[in-house]
Structure 1
Amino acid sequence: MSQLPYWLAEALAAERSPPRPALQGRQRADVCIVGGGFTGLWTAIMCKQARPDWQVVVLEKARCGSGASGRNGGCMLTWSTKYPSLRRWFGDSEASRLVQASEQAVADIASFCQQHAIDADIRLGGAVYAASNPAQIGRLAPVLSMLQEHGLNSWTALSPAQTRALSGSALLQDGYHSAPAGSLQPGKLVRGLLRVASEMGVQVHEHSAMTHLQEDGQVILHTAQGQVEASQAVLALNADMPGQFPAFANSILLVSSDMIITDARPGEISTLGLERGQAVCDLRTFVHYWRSTPDGRLMLGKGGNHIAFGNRMQACFDQPSRHAAALQLTMGRLFPSLATAPVVQSWTGASDRSATGFPFFGRLPGHQRVLYGLGYSGNGVVQSHLGGRILSSLLLGERNAWTDSGLVRGPLAHFPPEPLRWCGAMLVRNAIRRVEQAEDRQHKPRWLDTRLAACAGMAGKTDHARPDATHG
C-alpha cells in the first residue's frame, strides 16, 4: 500500500489546496521541465528570474514533492566532507569551488525562503558528525586535514561533553561541528517553491506523467491527455530516469533510505539538546542520521537497506518502511529516553546513487534540446539548488562556472550491467553490514568482509559522504 511521506502529507494538510490541473490539449512553451521536485522547481524559478518573458511549463506525474524531494530527511548538508572525491573527479580548483558553493547554497536557500515567505521550518543549527563506536574514531581526520590545508575547513572539533550535548546521544564520541548546515521540512520547501514558481508565471501540471518525447526542431512532450511543444526541455526525474531512458541504466544504483518519526516530545528533545535543528550523522558507511522538528519530534533514518534489481522503482520505495522496528531499536540505543516513544510514521525513498557519488548533468543522448540532471547520491536538499543553477544556465545559453563545470560532462563512471551490478552491490552491502555489526560489538571484523566492504570506495565513496536526501 502506497502512502504519502510524512513531510509531504503535513505540507499538503497545511496548504489545503487541490492538485494543479492536469495537462489538457496542446500547449506551447520556451522550456518544459519534467519533474516537480527540488531540481525542476529551482530550475523553473531561476529561468523566470532571468527571463520573465519565457513561458515555462512543469509536468509532474503525481503531486509536486511526491518523490525524493518530499520524502528525504530534511538535512541541509554540504559537500565539504566529500572534498577528496571532488578533487579526484574534478580537480583542485573546481573541488574548492564546489565545496564553497555548497556551503553558500545553505544560506541562499534560507534567504530565498525568507524573501518569499516560505515557512519551511529552516533552522541553521549546523551539522554534527561523530563516531558511534570506537572503530569510527578518527575517520574524519584525514578529510578535515585536507580541508584545513586548502583553507576550506568549516569544521570544529568537539570535546566529549560537547559531542554528547550537540548529538543528543551519550553513545557518540569524537565529534565535529560545521556551522553552514541545518535542517528543514522538505515537503514545505517543495510546496513553497511550487507556490513561488506559480506566482512567477510558471505553469505547473500535476498528475501529468510524460508518456514519451520526441525532438524534431522542437521538443514535443506527450502526456495521457495533452502535449507540450517546447524550444527546450529538462528531465528532472532523478530515480525515475533509468526506467524511462535506458541510456542511464548503468549510470546509477537505486538504494533505499528508511525513516521513522516520533510523536511530539518537546521537553525530551530540549533535554537531549536537539532543539536547534542540527543535523547529526554517525560515521558508518550506511549512516544513521537524525534531527528534531520544531514541534519536538525526532526523525531517525538509515540508508542502504534495499537495492533495486535493474533500477526498478519497486513498490517498497513508496510504502511504510520494512525496517521500522530495527530503526526503533536503534533509536532506543542512541536515545534511551525515547526507547518507548510512539513512532507515528515510517517511510522509504529511493536514492539515485551515482558511481562517483555526485550528480551529473548534460544533454540527453541523441538530442540537442533536452537537458537532464540526476544522481544526487543522498546529498540533494542543498545540492539541488546548485542543480537548478546548472540547468538554468544551460537553458539560458550562458557561459559561466556552472556550464563549464565537470558536473556537466554526463556520467563520469558506470556500474556494471545486470545481473553483475545487483549481485556485486548485495555482496558489498552485506559485508558492510557484518563489518559494522562487529564494530558495534567492538569485535574485529572478518578479513574477507573488510576487503569486500572496502569495494564501496571503488565506486567513488572515498570519503565521508553524508545523507540529506533519500540516502543510499
Structure 2
Amino acid sequence: MAPPLSRESPATTSWWLREVGPLAPVTQLEGDLRSDVCIVGGGFTGLWTALALKELQPELDVTVVEADHCGTGASGRNGGFVMSLWHQFLALEHACGAPAALWLARASTAAVADIGAFCEEHRIDAQYRPDGWLWTATNATQVGAWQRTIQAIERHGVRPFARIGTEELQARTGSRAHLTGVFESTCSSVQPAALARGLLRVARERGVTVFERSPIVGLERSTPLAVRTARGRVTADRVVVAMNAWAGQLRELRRAFAVVSSDIVITEPAADELERIGWRDGVCISDSRLMVHYYRGTRDGRVAFGKGGGRLAYDTRVGRSFSGRSPLEPLVTARLRSTYPALASVPIAASWTGPIDRTVDGLPFFFALGRADLVCGAGYSGHGVGPSALGGRILASLVL
C-alpha cells in the first residue's frame, strides 16, 4: 500500500525543493490515535482539504498522514503553472453539461486568484506572478488546437481567451518557434514547493496535526475507518485519500488513470539573455502537442522547461524511476535549446522527474469510494496546482 520513499533526499528531488531550503524536523506517527478526519497525503490536495475543513468547522480534529515530507510529491515537482479549467471546457461540458461546466470553470478561475490572496494574507513568498498563460502552436499540425474549445465557450458569451497574432506572440515569448496562439490572462505561476511549505505552516497554525515520513501500509475499511502505518494507526470517522498518482494503489482507482512522467530542466540564471530576446515576465507557455512542452521564466531569471508524458508506468505503479534526476534530461534540454537558441550556452542547473495521474478526459475526480466516509480526489492530469485549491473545498464538502 505504501508508496516508496524517495531514493534521494527531498531537497534534491526538484530545484524548487532545494530552493526553499532545509526541511524542518518531522513528527512520525507512532502509536494509536483518534481523529475526526484523517487525510492521507500532504500535498496540495491534502493540505487545501485540511484548511477547508478547519475553515468550515474550526473545532474539527484533522490529521494529515504523509509518506515522505509534505510537498515532496507532485506538489513540489511540477512546473508551477496555476491554471483554470477553461482549456478543459469541452471535457467539462461533456461530463456534466454546460451550466455546471461554466460554474466549474469560473470557480477554478477564482481559485487562481484565491491562491494569490492566500499567499499575501499569510505572507507566503511563493513567487506568485499573475502574468497569464499562452497556449501556442509550434508546428502546423498544432495550429488552431484551441479553436473548438474557444467556440464552445464563446457560445455562452464568455471570452477567457484572447487571440494573439504571430508577431506579438513571438515578441512576448522571445521565440520564433511559436507560430500562433491564444492568451488566458487569469492564470499565474508560483514556486510550488514554497506554496506547499506555506500551506503546511498555515495548516499547523490552524490546529491540523501532521505526521510525515509515515507511509501507510493499510486502510482498514471498518467502522470507524483506520489508517495504518508501520509504527502507528489513526482511527477516524472519515478518511480522505489525497495521494495523487499514488492513489492508483487503491483497488477502485487502478483503472481510473494512467501514470505518466513529467520531466523538467531548469537553467542557471539568464536574465541578460532573456532581456535580449524580450521575454521579460513570468507568463506560462505551452504548446499543443499531446505530450505537451511547457515552460516559464522564474523571478531570478531562470527558465524551467518541461515535457509531459515521456514515460508510462506499469499498472499505475509509481516506482523509483519517477523520482530524482530526470532520465530524459538530454531530450528535454535539447527541446529547450531548439525553442530558445539564445539560451544554448546557458548551463542546466538541475533536472527532475515526477508522476502525473492522467485521466482519459484530463479532468480530476472527487467521489466516495463505496461508502460516504471514505472519499478521494485525484486525476489532475498535470494541471493540479490551481484546481487542487478548488478540489480541497469539494473534498471538505463531501466529508462534512
Aligned with 1:361: secondary structure? strand
Which residue of 2 is the match for residue 264 of structure 1?
A: 269
- Whether the aligned pair in 2 keeps the contact of 1:275 and 1:294 (CA below 8 Å) is no
1: CA distance between counterparts of 2:302 and 2:331? 18
The structural deviation recorded for 1:335 is 0.8
Give the AA of the match of 2:328. H
Aligned with 2:299: secondary structure? coil
Which residue of 2 is the match for residue 357 of structure 1?
A: 362
Runs of 4 or more consecutive aligned structure 1 residues displaced over 4 Å after TM superposition: none
2: CA distance between counterparts of 1:141 and 1:355? 21
Match of 1:202 among 187, 208, 212: 208
User: Does 1:110 pair with 2:119?
Assistant: no
CA deviation string 1:77-116 (max 9, x = no partner) = 2211211111111111111111111111110111111111
Match of 2:246 among 240, 259, 268: 240
Match of 1:324 among 321, 329, 334: 329
Q: How does 1:58-77 map to 2 (within 5 A)?
A: 58-77=64-83
The structural deviation recorded for 1:209 is 1.1
Distance 1:141 1:17, change over 3 A: closer
- Whether the aligned pair in 2 keeps the contact of 1:59 and 1:204 (CA below 8 Å) is yes
Q: Is the deviation greater in 300-309 or in 135-144?
A: 135-144
User: Does 1:82 pair with 2:88?
Assistant: yes
The structural deviation recorded for 1:253 is 0.3
The structural deviation recorded for 1:64 is 0.4
Match of 1:387 among 387, 391, 397: 391
Q: How does 1:155-166 map to 2 (within 5 A)?
A: 155-166=161-172
The structural deviation recorded for 1:269 is 2.3
2: CA distance between counterparts of 1:373 and 1:363? 9
Give the AA of the match of 2:108. S
2: CA distance between counterparts of 1:137 and 1:306? 26
Match of 2:15 among 6, 9, 15: 6
- Whether the aligned pair in 2 keeps the contact of 1:96 and 1:152 (CA below 8 Å) is no
CA deviation string 1:283-311 (max 9, x = no partner) = 11111110011000000001111011111
Which residue of 1 is the match for residue 285 of structure 2?
A: 280
Which residue of 2 is the match for residue 145 of structure 1?
A: 151
The structural deviation recorded for 1:272 is 3.3
The structural deviation recorded for 1:131 is 1.1
Aligned with 1:207: secondary structure? coil
- Whether the aligned pair in 2 keeps the contact of 1:238 and 1:374 (CA below 8 Å) is yes
The structural deviation recorded for 1:216 is 3.0
Distance 1:362 1:166, change over 3 A: same
Give the AA of the match of 1:296. G
2: CA distance between counterparts of 1:285 and 1:363? 30
Give the AA of the match of 1:90. C
Give the AA of the match of 1:383. P
- Whether the aligned pair in 2 keeps the contact of 1:19 and 1:63 (CA below 8 Å) is no
2: CA distance between counterparts of 1:43 and 1:152? 30
The structural deviation recorded for 1:17 is 4.7
Match of 1:28 among 18, 30, 34: 34
Give the AA of the match of 2:201. R
Aligned with 1:294: secondary structure? coil
* Unpaired runs of at least 5, structure 1: 397-472
The structural deviation recorded for 1:338 is 0.5
2: CA distance between counterparts of 1:158 and 1:248? 40
2: CA distance between counterparts of 1:354 and 1:120? 28
Aligned with 2:260: secondary structure? strand
Aligned with 2:216: secondary structure? coil
1: CA distance between counterparts of 2:276 and 2:389? 34
The structural deviation recorded for 1:211 is 1.3
Count of equivalent residues: 391
Q: How does 1:329-344 map to 2 (within 5 A)?
A: 329-344=334-349
- Whether the aligned pair in 1 keeps the contact of 2:271 and 2:300 (CA below 8 Å) is yes
Give the AA of the match of 1:5. S
* Unpaired runs of at least 5, structure 2: 1-6
Match of 1:95 among 93, 96, 101: 101
Distance 1:273 1:202, change over 3 A: farther
- Whether the aligned pair in 2 keeps the contact of 1:128 and 1:166 (CA below 8 Å) is no
- Whether the aligned pair in 1 keeps the contact of 2:372 and 2:399 (CA below 8 Å) is no
2: CA distance between counterparts of 1:140 and 1:368? 38
- Whether the aligned pair in 2 keeps the contact of 1:259 and 1:299 (CA below 8 Å) is yes
Query: Please, what TM-score do these two structures have when normalized by structure 1?
Result: 0.81
Which residue of 1 is the match for residue 4 of structure 2?
A: none
2: CA distance between counterparts of 1:359 and 1:142? 21
The structural deviation recorded for 1:9 is 2.1
2: CA distance between counterparts of 1:216 and 1:145? 49
- Indicate the percent of aligned positions where both proteins have the same amino acid: 39
Give the AA of the match of 1:393. S
Aligned with 1:198: secondary structure? helix
2: CA distance between counterparts of 1:275 and 1:54? 46
- Whether the aligned pair in 2 keeps the contact of 1:155 and 1:179 (CA below 8 Å) is yes
Aligned with 2:123: secondary structure? coil
Q: CA RMSD in A?
A: 1.3
Give the AA of the match of 1:175. G
Give the AA of the match of 2:379. G
Q: How does 1:434-445 map to 2 (within 5 A)?
A: none
The structural deviation recorded for 1:339 is 1.1
CA deviation string 1:11-34 (max 9, x = no partner) = 2x1xx4523210121222111101
2: CA distance between counterparts of 1:55 and 1:228? 12
